[in-house]
Structure 1
Amino acid sequence: MGIGIFFNVPAHGHINPTLPIVNELVKRGETIIYYSTEEFREKIEKTGAKYKPYSFSLSQGPTPSGNFVKLAGMLLKATEEVMSKEMGYIKKLKPDYIIHDSMTPWGKHMAKYLGIKAVNTTSTFVFSGETTDKVDKFRNKILKMALEAGIDQIFDIVTIKRRLKVEYGVNSKIMDLFRNQEDLNIVFSSLQFQPDGAKLGDKFLFVGPSIYDRKDASDFSFGNIEDRKLVYISLGTIANERLDFYRECIKAFSKSEFNVLISIGSKVNKKQLGVVPSNIHIETYVPQIEVLKRANLFISHGGMNSVNEALYFGVPLLILPQQSEQVMVAKRVEELGAGICITKKDIDSEYLLEKSVYIMESRSFYESAGKIGEDFRETGGYKAGTDAILNYVTDDLH
């Protein structure tokens, strides 16, 4: 049985999709050492993997500002630190393979340096030239981001790239920092949902969203919200401090015929939202999978993980993107007829209610979401992903 290292970005949207595969690998006798931060230790250890902390802070993950140039600098610094601080331990461990997230270049380059196989896992759209063209003026935005990042940031990027090349032979383009593709790439989506998926080739295996019992602790009860149509509202776990948005949602649905469940996260104080009508329920945390099994509409930030989970259960979406990559997801949902993308200027109670009612009264949105969900369920799931990983990494072991 093999030993695998798993490098990931410490963010719910990146970690959650990988947990079923990690759990399945452990069940099949593999030893997995999973690098992350303390926040995710419990859920990682529940899979049977061995948690190992990064030796520095990566807790912020991709920045809410969406500046890819600043993020590139952060990823390069992280790559240098992980390779310098963890190389000794990993050499001594002698792993058989490395699995890494698409946004952890240190995983790709660690495997290359050690001469072992590596597998990429992708929890977003596959980031290709064709995909980036789907975002209006994408290249101009990158240039603007570089100017915003400043000359010091650009100098740091160039300097670290030079050091990595000299020390470890790392020589990758800036855009590769967000892709880190391997000969096997596990994508937690479907070929149908991926923009230009047919152009990607056979190195990409689409296994669909990883839906399984995450065993998250929760005392949440559905007892008082199951008698009417349910609207579920969440802006995810990163950029969710939006009192203005929550207040407009409360105003929009206060006199409606719907039950509304709003998950605000731990950064917002419920008391700031005041007294709410009996049909509106405010929670800091909800078991999202269980909610989506019952929901009629999901008003979301457009995080890939949340969108995948909604569509898996055939739930249409009203999406308010908070970051650049979420715009891509929202536009794809809209393109396939499974929801509507709105902008910050659309945060108005009347508009929110109007669009919500429109979606819930239109059969086409449910049909489109249902088709995508059916496609997700037919992709093979985490067991197909596990099979592919083991077949790939054990070719040279047995």
Structure 2
Amino acid sequence: MEEHSDKGTLFFYGLPAYGHTLSNLYLAGRLAGAGFRVVYYSAEPFRENIEENGCEYRAYPMDWAALDLTDGERILKLYRLVLEYTWRMLPKLLEQAEEERPCGVIFDSLALWGRAVGQLRGVPSFAFYSIAAIDWIWGFPRVRGGGGAPADSAGSPAGFRKYGSEEHREGITAGTSGSFARIRKSSKEKRRDGAATDAPGATARLRKHSHGERTGGRPTKDRAGLPVGLWKYGHENGDARRFPVSPWGKGLGAYAPGFSADFLRYAGEIPGAAAYAKRLRKRYGLRDLGLLPVLMNRGDYNLCGYARLFQPGGRGFGGEYRFVGPLSVHRKIGQQNDFSCWDEDVSTPLIYISLGTVFHRNEEFLRTVVEQLGLRTGKRLTERLEKTGGGCPAGLGVGRSRGESFRVVLVWSGDETHVFPENFTVRPFVNQNEILKHAALFITAGGMNSLHEALYFGVPCLMCPQQGEQRLNARRFERLGFGKILQDPRKLRREAWKCMELKKGWDEKLRKRLTGVCVGKALELIEAVCTDRDGMGDVGE
């Protein structure tokens, strides 16, 4: 890796989970290609993917099999585990950082240990969000039209200090971060105009998709779920005085419904979490170890792997959040599929199904999928589908009979003795992007990467969310018009046909906006901060 280290070393603290890793590998690879030595911390199952993207793999100082950070439903358990792993790994990670002296650290938003290394070693830090963010600091919304709020000498909006700690004051202008001294010294103005703005006319184009959430005959939310009146904060006589936005309005309110039912089921984890937090405070002086700061770790800058339009309350996020767009579809993939079912009759729709642990937890749902979408010789299955209402509804799928089959690619790693219908291709792992190029429908649990990869290839999604983050994603995806949430599995076949029809009427311009990436600007930002250069521009929408 020596030939790619002329700009210094970056430590990239990943999360050993497929969704989190695949979302940021493209960024890591681009940084390596730009001249950084990128040391990517992860676990052995991810070594090949990491090295394929040009990075140097390094194992975490723990048995990877002991790392269990994949269950986002058990929030309090996840909170305790993150604190515990940080306590166990931090001594070795700090030792390695002291020896190799990286010029910056990038960490998954769940990797508290990465945030800690950045703070304790005094180097620039960047959090990467592969899930929708919650900004747990009070802040000011972005200003439409380029106006900026009055700023103090640190580039922070006047009056902001009482809403955020000294460490986390930030400006709404591009390139301002109140928590990093080398950036702050370039922001001496008493007032700074030219805040980051949308593309011209973006807000107007978005509002034309209003669903009709109304109060007294007036729309209160646009199709993306953004408050129509957000920009009415004090724009009097051209002035841009605004009120701060609470964490509830910046993601927390969208997440809460998906987790509220089961949140306290794991209350027994609280004492253990509190004990580890106390140890970290006492030994290292770490702060901000509450639930939200630990599960949504912030850096000097926060890179979000999706568009601002997809972020709940996205307009309220300040300039330290940069929306780089969905990157997973652009990563290097070495795995090739050992089948090519799209070479068959293209008049038969191809349905791709990848639901992770859903099938293993719900055998009945797997049987429903087989019965509703499977092909059998003779009329037995067709007759059963017609009786249960699973056939193609009238007016959909012109030229197809009610009992006609689909081609199905199913990702499933269960019992090898399980028998599937002849129109099913079943594999434990697949090259997903290759399949989506030919698919007519994607049945998915609603992970961020999967939804955006489907959107990139123009494939509608029928979603079966299982936990809070997936429910949030599914609701927003459905609201934007690119998919539907499966309400009744017994009518899976009928819902599949309806969902495929969405493509005829969806907004193609909005689709392209949601899948656009600006990784080049993210690279410029990281290089500027880590090499102590001024003149950083805005990144993202």
Q: What is the TM-score when the length of structure 2 is the normalising length?
A: 0.66
Is the aligned partner of 1:379 residue 2:517? yes
Q: What is the one-letter code of the residue matched to 2:254?
A: K
> What is the CA distance between 1:339 and its match in structure 2?
1.1
Is the aligned partner of 1:218 residue 2:364? no
Q: Is the 8 A contact 1:132 1:138 kept in 2?
A: no
Separation in 2 of the partners of 1:387 and 1:14? 23
Structure whose alpha-carbon radius of gyration is higher: 2
Is the aligned partner of 1:271 residue 2:417? yes
Q: What is the one-letter code of the residue matched to 1:228?
A: T
**CA shift digits 1:110-168 (9 cap, x unpaired):** 11000011011111111233222124546844xx534x2244x2211111111101111
**CA shift digits 1:254-308 (9 cap, x unpaired):** 34342221111x3x12431x2413x332222221011111111111011111111
Structure 1 match to 2:19:
13
Q: What is the one-letter code of the residue matched to 1:29?
A: G
> What is the CA distance between 1:316 and its match in structure 2?
1.2
What is the number of residues matched between the two proteins? 382
Structure 1 match to 2:130:
123
Q: What is the one-letter code of the residue matched to 1:269?
A: D
Separation in 2 of the partners of 1:361 and 1:155? 51
**CA shift digits 1:356-382 (9 cap, x unpaired):** 111223445x624x44430134332x3
Q: Is the 8 A contact 1:100 1:121 kept in 2?
A: yes
Q: SS of the counterpart of 2:303?
A: strand
Relative to 1, partners in 2 of residues 1:85 and 1:224: Cα closer, same or farther, differing over 3 Å? same
Separation in 2 of the partners of 1:225 and 1:87? 57
Q: Is the 8 A contact 2:131 2:448 kept in 1?
A: yes
Q: Is the 8 A contact 1:232 1:295 kept in 2?
A: yes
Relative to 1, partners in 2 of residues 1:22 and 1:185: Cα closer, same or farther, differing over 3 Å? same
Relative to 1, partners in 2 of residues 1:352 and 1:140: Cα closer, same or farther, differing over 3 Å? closer
Q: 1:42 aligns with which of 48, 56, 66?
A: 48
Q: SS of the counterpart of 1:331?
A: helix
Structure 1 match to 2:79:
72
Separation in 1 of the partners of 2:534 and 2:517? 28
> What is the CA distance between 1:92 and its match in structure 2?
0.8
Is the aligned partner of 1:233 residue 2:350? no
Is the aligned partner of 1:103 residue 2:110? yes
Q: Is the 8 A contact 2:452 2:515 kept in 1?
A: no
For residues 228-267 of structure 1, what are the structure 2 equivalents within 5 Å? 228-236=348-356, 238-241=357-360, 242-254=362-374, 255-264=403-412, 266=413
Q: What is the TM-score when the length of structure 1 is the normalising length?
A: 0.89
Q: What is the one-letter code of the residue matched to 1:6?
A: F
Structure 2 match to 1:184:
301
Q: Where do 5+ consecutive residues of structure 1 fail to align?
A: none
Relative to 1, partners in 2 of residues 1:384 and 1:377: Cα closer, same or farther, differing over 3 Å? farther
Q: SS of the counterpart of 1:315?
A: coil
Q: Is the 8 A contact 1:122 1:186 kept in 2?
A: yes
Q: Is the 8 A contact 2:41 2:58 kept in 1?
A: yes
Q: SS of the counterpart of 2:352?
A: strand
Structure 1 match to 2:525:
388
For residues 289-304 of structure 1, what are the structure 2 equivalents within 5 Å? 289-304=433-448
Structure 1 match to 2:283:
167
Structure 2 match to 1:145:
263
Relative to 1, partners in 2 of residues 1:155 and 1:57: Cα closer, same or farther, differing over 3 Å? same
> What is the CA distance between 1:386 and its match in structure 2?
2.3
Percentage of identical aligned residues: 29
Q: What is the one-letter code of the residue matched to 1:124?
A: I
Q: What is the one-letter code of the residue matched to 2:354?
A: S
For residues 238-387 of structure 1, what are the structure 2 equivalents within 5 Å? 238-241=357-360, 242-254=362-374, 255-264=403-412, 266=413, 268-272=414-418, 274-277=419-422, 279-342=423-486, 346-348=488-490, 351-363=491-503, 367-368=506-507, 370-380=508-518, 382-387=519-524
